[in-house]
Chain A
Amino acid sequence: QKEVEQDPGPLSVPEGAIVSLNCTYSNSAFQYFMWYRQYSRKGPELLMYTYSSGNKEDGRFTAQVDKSSKYISLFIRDSQPSDSATYLCAMSGVETSYDKVIFGPGTSLSVIP
């Protein structure tokens, strides 16, 4: 079993739709959870991070963490064509002397005008 799993998609939605992106993980030591957005041929950029369980909202984006289920989600409301990108979940926890960040494989999202 991979440490972090993510449906690769591609996911295609119409403009204005609510998008749900998800990751599951196996290591209960993870405490920090992040979502990165990566446009084609660009480096990943941080969208959101959360610590432990709970929700965090930032504009049209909401991140949810359910540690009991080892499941995290990113919701995008009122999706826009500019949201078309690959979304990578990432997580880290206490491990040896530093917190190595583990990335999921990414979900490709296309928002159709």
Chain B
Amino acid sequence: NAGVMQNPRHLVRRRGQEARLRCSPMKGHSHVYWYRQLPEEGLKFMVYLQKENIIDESGMPKERFSAEFPKEGPSILRIQQVVRGDSAAYFCASSPRRGQGTDTQYFGPGTRLTVL
């Protein structure tokens, strides 16, 4: 039973390029969450998606960031025109139902984005 998969594990982009981060949830999970983690900081919530729906994007920056979770395929976090401040580890988590404490979120290994 494969866990949450994220790719790429490491991504290097130059300022102004686009970054695309992919997340495949655990089998049977239809809820996906994206978090950003900066050095010495905790996980910051970005967005919560169900299939074809954005449920909560209150943690997403207003510009350049977008997320989707199509009916088929992985969830995508897209960052347009990256800047150095976007360098961070981006984690995806999935859960089988809405994120209540007993339906725990399971995390992927993360994508480490470096912007040169």
Chain A residues with CB under 8 Å of chain B are 4, 6, 8, 31-34, 36, 41-46, 49, 51, 88, 91-92, 96-106
Q: In chain B, residues 93-116, which have Cβ atoms closer than 8 Å to a Cβ of chain A?
A: 98-102, 104-110, 112
Which chain B residue has the least Cβ–Cβ distance from A43? B107
Contacts of A91 in B (CB 8 A): 101
Asked if A51 and B41 make an inter-chain contact with CB atoms under 8 angstroms apart, the answer reads no
> Does B45 interact with chain A (Cβ within 8 Å)?
yes
Are B108 and A100 in contact, CB atoms less than 8 angstroms apart? no
Whose C-beta in chain A lies nearest to the C-beta of B101? A32
Q: Count chain B residues whose beta carbon lies closer than 8 angstroms to a beta carbon of A.
A: 26
In the complex, chain A residues whose CB is within 8 Å of the CB of B35: 103
B43 interfacial contact with A, CB 8 Å:
yes
Q: Give the interface of B toward A (CB within 8 A).
A: 4, 33, 35, 40-45, 48, 55-56, 91, 98-102, 104-110, 112
Nearest CB on B from A32, distance (A)? 2
CB of B101 within 8 A of CB of A44, answer no
Interface of A is mostly: strand
CB distance from B11 to the nearest CB of A (A): 14
Partner of B100, one of A32, A41, A43, A105: A32
Which chain A residues lie closer than 8 Å to B110 at the CB level? Answer: 41-43
The reply to whether A49 and B40 form a contact with Cβ atoms under 8 Å apart is no
Asked if B102 contacts A51 (CB within 8 A), the reply is yes
> A42-B109, A44-B43, A105-B41 in contact; A99/B91 too (CB < 8 A)?
no
